[in-house]
Amino acid sequence: MADLKRTHIVMLCSPGVGHFIPIFELAKHLAHHDDLTITIITTQPITSIPDSYQTIINSLQSDIHLLSFPSPPYHSLPESAKDESRIMFSISHNLPRLRELLRSLASSDNPPVALFVDLFGVDAFDVAMEFKIHPYIFSTSSCFALRFGLHLPKLDDVLTGEFQDFLEPLRLPGCPPISPKDMPDFMLDRGNTAYLSFVRIFKRYVEAKGILVNSFEELEPVAMKALKDDEDVPLVYTVGPLVRTCLTGVVNGAGCLTWLDKQPLGSVLYVSFGSGGTLTREQMKELALGLEMSKQRFLWVVKTPHESKPSAAYFGGQTPESITSLEFLPDGFLARTEGLGLVVPAWAPQVEVLGHASVAGFMSHCGWNSILESILHGVPMLAWPLYAEQNLNALMIVDGLKVALRPQVGDNGLVTRDEVCRVIKCLMEGMEGKELRERMKQLSVAATKAVAEDGSSFKSISKLALDLKIL
């Protein structure tokens, strides 16, 4: 039974590996500070968490407890619950179970003082408040995306028409100019459920006792200042980069690391579209042929293509059908690129890959965790955003930080094989690539310092731990 003096925090995590990883890392960092007990509730089945994570879960420290409130299987969700709405549904579906858990914990020897929820969890605020538990938001994306999201309800109040009708980019405090093409896709139709849900969600952020962001001050000083200067915004703690530590010797993932060991230093482009991102068949073919034309070494995590819209398979990473994904590669591609490239279906141990000395570039869907992992390991990027807030992330790393290049989409909506080849060569061989790499190395140093003892995020987590103790 837990000791009376410990401060107990409950963390509710939306489904999706990209949400689970940072919340779990946050718990580990907080647990370094004495006297904290943490209960993490994941809303996906524990078995859907990738193998490398299972290894960490098995070695959990005793003051972190993991519970699973799995969401209903995807096929049983209502027709209306698509993409982001599915995540929200998985939280609302679990509120009665959360209430029961908090009720029993509230009357235990070690009642929780705070409930942390991520982007989609604001409906759980009401349940927390029933038991006098303070609600906190853990924002799993950038300070920039948070600043933008917090502007959204005000923008929505004054806007007539659609965001696409703007002729000039939006200029908001703490954000670079944002054109409609940089906005999350759900914003392009103000009538859709996901858009309306986000407006409602961001309206409630101000009710939080504090907001934690998986970023660091040195990465986003302007957005961070804009957050601090806004008196309507609760206290913001920058706690990142929260990145899974490399598991040396524990994972190899389809032979990726053994293969990388055999490649020359700084020679390989890693290509991956995150835990759920997929391309169309046609786009996948252009990417394959562009990779081949570039004659660069590559490690490509291939997922089964979709027919029309990029998928956001939030309910897990490793799907059995992904094994068939290699069938969609162009005829003869594997034979022609043998020796130059390694193609793996579904999943690779990304943190270990990015930390490998042979890897010199990362073509990514711009999920925030992928960006932080690339920054931490000093690997410059090719930005290929697909869904959610990934356009905003791409804008930040390409135009803002200048650590990534972005391939141009042609008139037919495709990035052609020539364009793929051009950006890859630019990143891997060109002067521009060299400059991007230099800037990324500087960010890597800053990121490492931020989480080291006395770094900005370390101090912020320490302050958070103290603030939680006096709630």
Active site (catalytic) residues = 19, 118
**Alpha-carbon distance 23 to 424, whole Å?**
33
Q: Is 44 in the site for ligand UDX (CB under 6 A)?
A: no
Nearest CB to ligand UDX, comparing residues 290 and 345: 345
* Token pair for 314: 């939030």
Nearest CB to ligand UDX, comparing residues 134 and 314: 314
Residue with nearest beta carbon to ligand UDX: 367
**CB atoms inside a 10 Å sphere around CB 113:** 17
Nearest CB to ligand UDX, comparing residues 37 and 374: 374
Please answer whether residues 104 and 27 qualify as being in contact, where contact means their C-beta atoms are separated by less than 8 angstroms.
Answer: no
Supply the minimum distance, in Å, between the C-beta of residue 301 and ligand UDX: 4
Residues 233-272 that bind ligand UDX (CB under 6 A): 272
Supply the minimum distance, in Å, between the C-beta of residue 37 and ligand UDX: 25
What 3-state DSSP class applies to 69? coil
Q: Is 381 in the site for ligand UDX (CB under 6 A)?
A: no
**Alpha-carbon distance 383 to 390, whole Å?**
9
CA 153 to chain centre: 23
Residues 117-146 that bind ligand UDX (CB under 6 A): 140-141
Name the one range near ligand UDX by CB under 6 A: 12-20, 281-289, 333-341, 425-433: 12-20
Q: Is 18 in the site for ligand UDX (CB under 6 A)?
A: yes
Residues 333-372 that bind ligand UDX (CB under 6 A): 347-351, 367-370
Q: Which residues contact 412 (CB under 8 A, 6 or more apart)?
A: none
Supply the minimum distance, in Å, between the C-beta of residue 424 and ligand UDX: 19
What 3-state DSSP class applies to 385? coil
Nearest CB to ligand UDX, comparing residues 311 and 416: 311
Nearest CB to ligand UDX, comparing residues 7 and 90: 90
Please answer whether residues 27 and 64 qualify as being in contact, where contact means their C-beta atoms are separated by less than 8 angstroms.
Answer: yes
Nearest CB to ligand UDX, comparing residues 288 and 351: 351
139 has which bridge partners? 213
Number of residues lying near ligand UDX (CB under 6 A): 26
157-178 b/e (C-beta count within 10 Å ≥ 16 → b)? eeeeeebeeeeeebebebbbeb
Q: Which amino acid is at 462?
A: S
When binding is defined by CB under 6 A, the residue of 301, 329, 382, 420 that contacts ligand UDX is 301
Nearest CB to ligand UDX, comparing residues 22 and 112: 22
Q: Tally helices (H) and strands (E) across the chain.
A: 16, 13
Supply the minimum distance, in Å, between the C-beta of residue 368 and ligand UDX: 4
When binding is defined by CB under 6 A, the residue of 15, 112, 277, 378 that contacts ligand UDX is 277
Supply the minimum distance, in Å, between the C-beta of residue 18 and ligand UDX: 3
Q: Which amino acid is at 469?
A: K
* Residue found under tokens 């997929």: 278
Q: Is 311 in the site for ligand UDX (CB under 6 A)?
A: no
**Alpha-carbon distance 287 to 103, whole Å?**
52
Q: Is 390 in the site for ligand UDX (CB under 6 A)?
A: yes
Sheet of 404-405, strand order? 341-345, 297-302, 268-272, 359-364, 381-383, 404-405
CA 459 to chain centre: 23
Supply the minimum distance, in Å, between the C-beta of residue 411 and ligand UDX: 27
Supply the minimum distance, in Å, between the C-beta of residue 233 and ligand UDX: 19
| Interface residues toward ligand UDX, by CB under 6 A | 16-19, 21, 140-141, 272, 274-277, 301, 347-351, 367-370, 373, 388-390
